[in-house]
Amino acid sequence: MAKRSDHLLYHRKKWYFKLSIPRSMQHLFLSDNGKPMGKIVESLSSTPEIAELKARQREAECAAVFAQIKAGVITTPQQVKLALTRGPAVDEEGNPIFPGYEVDRDEQQQRLHAALAEAEKRLENERRATWYKIYGTYGVPSNQFMGRPDLPAAAAGETINQAAEAWFAELTRDKTAAPRATTLDGHRLRVRALVDKRGDLPLAEVTRAVASDFLNGLDISNRTRNAYATTLRSVFECARRRGRFQGDNPFDGMKAKVVGSSYQPFTVDELQALFNAMPRNVAPKRHSPDSALPWAALIALYSGARLEEIAQLTTADVREEAANGATVTVIDIHNGGQNKLKNETSARLIPVHSALVHAGLLDYVKALKAGPLFPGLKRRTSKGGKVGARLGELFRKRLVALGLKREGLCFHSFRHTVAGRLDAAGVPQSDAARVLGHAVAGMSYGTYSQGGPGLKRVAATVEQISYEGLRL
């Protein structure tokens, strides 16, 4: 089957059509209660082949509506609603089909022709991208490739969309290190936002002024704005590596300052209330997300590991590692199989804190059959295949039920709590990085992620994580 549309979403055994609406047009797309919509979501089919065909058809219909809005042919929410349910805003002769809607005939024809010209340009760019995927060059005009003598030759240089697709292909080439589907969707959304705003420009025409105006025009937080800058900078860097772009990267140095952190650490009193309400069972009769949560939270509290890193552990990942003539019990955070880490520096060995031993973690591991450390967790397709999504939801509910929920407090707060404890203990940044999986300038990935003589030092660093007065 041909590659599926980027706008297909699979949820609860059914396929859906999902398409973002350009920000400048959202006021014309109203929900049933009259509020502007950010995206169009429609049920398609439980059969992927049928869903694919319907999605492509719907994508083309929505693109036509977007083009006619931009050309001024469609101007009201009522016209949008009719266009989405009944077809285009004008008939084959260019006559309006909306009751009571009249415009100057010449002006309407000019707008319609402009919209069609823009759609033709977009189609030409897609043809050039197809040629590139097959032959690896944009030097051959797409009219030769497609057998369309009426189309102009392809312009020199990659466009934003073409460069982005090449970067996405590079990211997913190695299946073992490919980003999650949700991560890739985020990159696509950010690229699409730039193209919706400025058009699918050749890379050479994207100046620093264009980049700055685009980022400054986003009505989002600085943290989210920086995600856009990072994605788009990577698109241009990939093009540079492939020899398709020269000059300064227009998105270099475009990150905005983010004051403070959106996550907050736990207090000892909050931790005490939390763990009092989450009793641990060394050998649960039935493994479930509820039985996994107390152990996952405890591991996070004394390691700083991320939720997904903990959730995807297996019994084999809690083991002994040789360290300069002795052994250290470690938690092995690694890529491989279905395991996906945030980045390369996230792979590491974390010595098991003595508090985890006293709390019975090793007894819990011994009571399990070989396999997942938390057998009751399931991967969620709707969450990009993540296995820890349910734990995050349960943890939030527990915080709310205990009256502990406040701004910035969530499961990820364990990681910030550990970082704060290590900092308060005077632990050097390089040693804290070994525990938390942070990148450190001048320190290679392979140097500090592996076991060896330095593991004893890491174990001593882990023991610096303490919570005076906390009783487990």
Least confident of 117-126, 127-136, 147-156, 212-221: 147-156
Token pair for 397: 């509910």
Distances (CA, A) of 152 to 142, 145, 159, 330: 8, 12, 16, 62
Which of the pair, 423 or 104, is modelled with greater confidence?
Answer: 423
Q: How wide is the angle at C-alpha 46 spanned by C-alphas 45 and 47, nearest 5°?
A: 90
In the chain, the domains with their CATH numbers are 157-260 (1.10.150.130), 268-462 (1.10.443.10)
Where on the phi/psi map is residue 87: left (φ > 0), alpha (ψ -120 to 50), or beta? left
pLDDT, averaged across the chain:
80
**Quick check: 233 pLDDT over 80?**
yes
Residue 190's pLDDT is what?
92
Measure the CA–CA gap between 6 and 185, rounded to whole angstroms: 8
CA atoms within 13 A of residue 265's CA, in its CB half-sphere: 16
Bridge partners, 320 (sequence order) = 329
Residues 6+ apart with CB under 8 A from 299: 305, 310, 331, 356, 361
Least confident of 96-105, 117-126, 325-334: 96-105
Q: Which residue, chain included where needed, has tokens 């992927």? A: 48
Residue 91's closest CA among 69, 108, 104, 72? Answer: 108
Residue 92 has pLDDT above 70, yes or no: no
Please tell me the predicted confidence (pLDDT) of residue 129: 57
**pLDDT at residue 101 is higher than 50:** no
Compute the average pLDDT of residues 302-329. Answer: 90
Q: 166-180, 310-324, 350-364: which range is least confident on average?
A: 166-180
Q: What is the pTM of this model?
A: 0.52
Residue-level pLDDT at 452:
54
Q: Higher model confidence: residue 95 or residue 276?
A: 276
Q: Which residue has the tokens 């906390």?
A: 470
Q: What is the pLDDT of residues 140-189, one digit of tens each?
A: 443 433 333 333 334 457 899 999 999 999 888 876 667 777 788 889 99
Report, in this order, helix, strand and coil percent for the chain, each rounded to 5. Answer: 50, 10, 40
Q: Quick one: pLDDT band at residue 70, thresholds 50, 70, 90?
A: confident
The beta strand positions in 311-435, using DSSP E, are 318-323, 326-333, 348-351
Q: H helices of 242-380, where?
A: 268-276, 289-301, 307-311, 354-358, 361-366
What is residue 94's predicted lDDT score, i.e. its pLDDT?
43
* Alpha carbon distance 39, 59 (integer Å): 12
Least confident of 15-29, 112-126, 389-403: 112-126
Whether the per-residue pLDDT at 90 is higher than 50: the answer is no
The residue among 70, 64, 55 whose CA lies nearest residue 16 is 55
CA distances 279 to 294, 316, 394, 472, Å, are 7, 24, 14, 9
3-state secondary structure of 11: strand
Q: Is the pLDDT of residue 397 over 90?
A: yes
Q: How many residues does the chain have?
A: 472
Helices (H), 199-252: 208-216, 222-241
